[in-house]
Amino acid sequence: MSSEGNFGVSDSVQSGVPVLLVTGEVDVSTAPELRERLVAVAEKGDRVVVVDLTNVSFVDSTALGVLVSGVKRFRNVGGDLRLVVTQPHISKVLEITGLTDVFAIYSTSAEAVGA
Amino acid sequence: MTTAGSADLDPDRIEERAVNRVDLSIPAKPELLFLARMTAAAVASRAEFGYDQIEDLRLALDELCLTILEGRTGGRMNLQFNWTEDAMEVTATVGDNDSHGPRGQDRLVATPKPNELSERILDALVDEHGFDYQNGTSSSWLRVRRVDETD
């Protein structure tokens, strides 16, 4: 069993908006893959991306760093990175780091896509 | 860096009163941090910490380890968990002269320094924490009191 074993990122497009559905634990060893996926979306020219953390069981400061870099990148081109967060412990990490003021956070991907 | 403490969390007292101790030695590799988190959760559960505190401890321990792994390649990381009926202390150490590690493979490539997000997380989740770097050895520690989550 490893953190890599249950980590994954699947992508879809909802109403024209790319959605990255992340699963498992996002830590220092798995966060780079999330970064690569975000960069790939940006390089395709999409200005808005939704990162759905509904199925994420753990995030650390490395994961948050990747998301902060991502939101800066998308906002620099007039877009946004929107988060879907439903797990209380993920919300707690965002709150204690002050990042609830940085991200647009939604409770479903449909909400985030339609925002 | 240390936050306000209490008599219950006095390091000597915890050491003295510790009725249980677990040691974990793992390669100092980021991809193995999940083992440290799993151990923290198991020990906290054994120490009868509640679900929320176990989740907090998993994250705090991860940040503690990240701090001392920063800038290092190779070697081993040693963690020691001490707990009593009302508190837990965890110490994480990784050094240049670890007798468990292959000689010549543990190299500090940058001076370790806690990042801002790690500090914020640790400040919020544990009662006390600290970081030290001396003679090629990085160590970090945390102390947390068990709270009754039914309150």
The pTM assigned to this predicted structure is 0.86
Q: In this predicted structure, what is the pLDDT of residue B35?
A: 96
d(CA A22, CA A114): 19
> Which of A28, A93, A98 minimises the CB distance to B59?
A93
Phi first, then psi, for residue A25 (nearest 5°) are -100, 125
Mean pLDDT per 10-residue segment, chain A (115 residues): 70 96 96 97 96 97 97 96 96 96 97 94
Cβ distance of A3 and B33 shorter than 8 Å: yes
Q: Are A20 and A56 in contact (CB under 8 A)?
A: no
Cβ distance of A27 and B117 shorter than 8 Å: no
d(CA B125, CA B127): 7
Q: Which residue of B has its CA nearest to A65?
A: B117
Structure ipTM: 0.89
Phi first, then psi, for residue A65 (nearest 5°) are -60, -40
d(CA B14, CA B82): 7
d(CA A75, CA A84): 17
Size of interface A-B (CB pairs under 8 A): 52
d(CA B144, CA B129): 9
Which of B51, B52, B62 to mutate to probe the A interface, most A CBs <10 Å?
Answer: B62
Please classify residue A47 by burial: count the beta carbons closer than 10 Å to its beta carbon, then call 0-12 exposed, 13-18 middle and 19+ buried. Answer: middle
Maximum distance among all Cα pairs of chain B, rounded to whole angstroms: 51
Length of chain B: 151
- Looking at chain A, the number of H-run helices and the number of E-run strands are 5, 5
Site of tokens 């990240």: B66
> Which of A3, A60, A65 minimises the CB distance to B63?
A60
In the predicted model, residues of chain B with pLDDT beneath 50 are: 1-5, 98-105, 109
